[in-house]
Amino acid sequence: MLKDKKIVLGITGSIAAYKAVDIASRLTRAGAKVEVVMTESATRFITPLTLRSITMRPVVTGMWETSSEFSIEHISLAEAADAVVIAPATANIIAHLACGMADDILTCTVLATRAPVIIAPAMNDNMFTNPVTQENIEKLKASGFVFVDPGAGRLACGRAGVGRLADIETIIGTLRQVLGRDGDLAGRNIVVTAGGTREPIDPVRYIGNRSSGKMGYALASAARDRGAEVKLITTITCMPETVGIDVVAVDTADDMNNAVKTAVKEADALVMAAAVVDYKPQATAKSKIKKDSDALSIGMVKTPDILAGIQGDFVKVGFAAESENLVANAKKKLKAKGLDLIVANDITDKSCGFGADSNKVTIIDKSGRVEDLPLMSKQEVAEKILGRVAELLISER
């Protein structure tokens, strides 16, 4: 989603300026064209050369530089930008913007742009919580500026408090959310499930599977990036970035079933990427099972088939993890579970599937159309699947 997007990255004079190098690097690696604008004080903390080397583009540090003979730098940057991100943003730039003061290249660019502006403050905790700064922030929020709140922790001044630049993942997640807010899933509610369920044997052990949750998280963020309201029902909760995603933590198949049933009441689509354990122990031992005997048998009963049991007027997408007869087995599941789409993958292929960052899938729809996709990152696979969901929502509903 960041590919070919023109992002103006404004850097101001905070000790956190070094973190902007990582932001520039990640955006550049994601395919964005990053135009760095540094205030004079930012250049005291890091050099323009560092940013130029990372972005492979000129870095603007003053009002009177022009990239071409006839363009005025801040106006051309402001007009070309898909979004402006100021990270880190000092109390000073926030105050200048709140007063509409255009007194350097960055404030001029921000005031001249019609693109969304995201501000990630970083400063001393007293400066951040000062009513003047808070008033300025509220004023800018009311004008449509998007803030990424700073975190709490040890600050450069040695104190502990709120003022640390937000996580880079959160800043980039906010940028993606903002860029996608008018996407083809805007106004839609999408429910995604992720991770493998865990069925307790006793207070310590459980029956589970190797699902990492990566595919479900990729789907949730891809839906968010197209403007959807996303609910992610997941057994894995340690993923780095869930900006704008409503995360519901569950453990067992029964928990997931209940959470899905509640969530789909408002849903336009359900994408079941979770690996639901099919059989659970008949009973859970109250205390830890001791290894007194040489063998142990555990009676097992079936868990609910969440996807098969859920009905309603929403697009239903399932996954099929297969080790043989991929397309034939997936088609059977599509029909048996009443799905609109099924995403089949061959779990014997080591380059994809459980734990991997890539996946090779075949998407089959209820008309029988079979789309074989090449090996891709899970993020790219998620984008393809959400593209198909968006098509179905436009054509059918």
Residues that bind ligand CTP (CB under 6 A): 253, 272, 274, 276, 278, 303, 305-307, 318-321, 333
Buried b / exposed e along 126-140 (16+ C-beta atoms within 10 A): ebbeeeebeebbeeb
Q: How far is the CB of 189 from ligand CTP (least distance, A)?
A: 19
Distance in Å, CB of 344 to ligand CTP, minimum: 8
Residue 41, SS3?
coil
Q: Which residues pair with 38 in a beta bridge?
A: 11
Residue 174, both tokens: 């906010």
CA dist., res. 245 & res. 382, Å (int): 15
Q: Which is nearer to ligand CTP, 24 or 270 (CB)?
A: 270
157 is catalytic: yes
Q: Are 284 and 252 in contact (CB under 8 A)?
A: no
Minimum gap (Å) between residue 321 Cβ and ligand CTP = 4
CB of 333 to ligand CTP, least distance (A): 5
- Rounded to a whole number of angstroms, the minimum distance from the CB of residue 233 to ligand CTP is 11
Tell me how far apart the terminal alpha carbons of the chain are, to the nearest angstrom.
25
The span from the CA of 104 to the CA of 108, in Å, is 6
Nearer to ligand CTP, 8 or 272 (CB): 272
> In terms of CB distance, is 86 or 271 closer to ligand CTP?
271
Please, which residues bridge with residue 307 across strands?
A: none
Nearer to ligand CTP, 108 or 275 (CB): 275
In 3D space, the residue among 256, 187, 259, 199 whose CA is nearest the CA of residue 226 turns out to be: 187
Residue 238 carries which side chain, given as an amino acid letter? C
Question: Is the CB of 85 or the CB of 326 nearer to ligand CTP?
Answer: 326
SS3 of 318-379:
EEEEECCCHHHHHHHHHHHCCCCEEEEEECCCCCCCCCCCEECEEEEECCCCEEECCCEEHH
Nearest-angstrom CA–CA distance, 361 and 373: 6
Q: How far apart are CA 148 and CA 118, in angstroms?
A: 7
Q: Which is nearer to ligand CTP, 90 or 193 (CB)?
A: 193
Nearer to ligand CTP, 185 or 321 (CB): 321
- Provide the 10 A C-beta neighbour count for residue 165: 25
Which of these, 217, 214, 213, 302, lies nearest to 251 by C-alpha position?
Answer: 213
Nearer to ligand CTP, 73 or 268 (CB): 268
Which residues are CB-neighbours of 380 under 8 A, at least 6 positions away? none
Q: Which of 82, 93, 66, 129 minimizes the C-alpha distance to 11? A: 93
What's the token pair of residue 69? 């003979």
CB of 275 to ligand CTP, least distance (A): 6
Which candidate in 99, 157, 238, 352 is catalytic?
Answer: 157
Shortest approach of ligand CTP to residue 211 CB, angstroms? 10
Q: Which residues contact 161 (CB under 8 A, 6 or more apart)?
A: 124, 125, 126, 128, 129, 152, 155
CB of 64 to ligand CTP, least distance (A): 59
Spatial CA neighbour of 179 closest among 3, 371, 395: 3
What tokens appear for 124 in the block? Answer: 């001393």
Supply the residues annotated as catalytic: 157
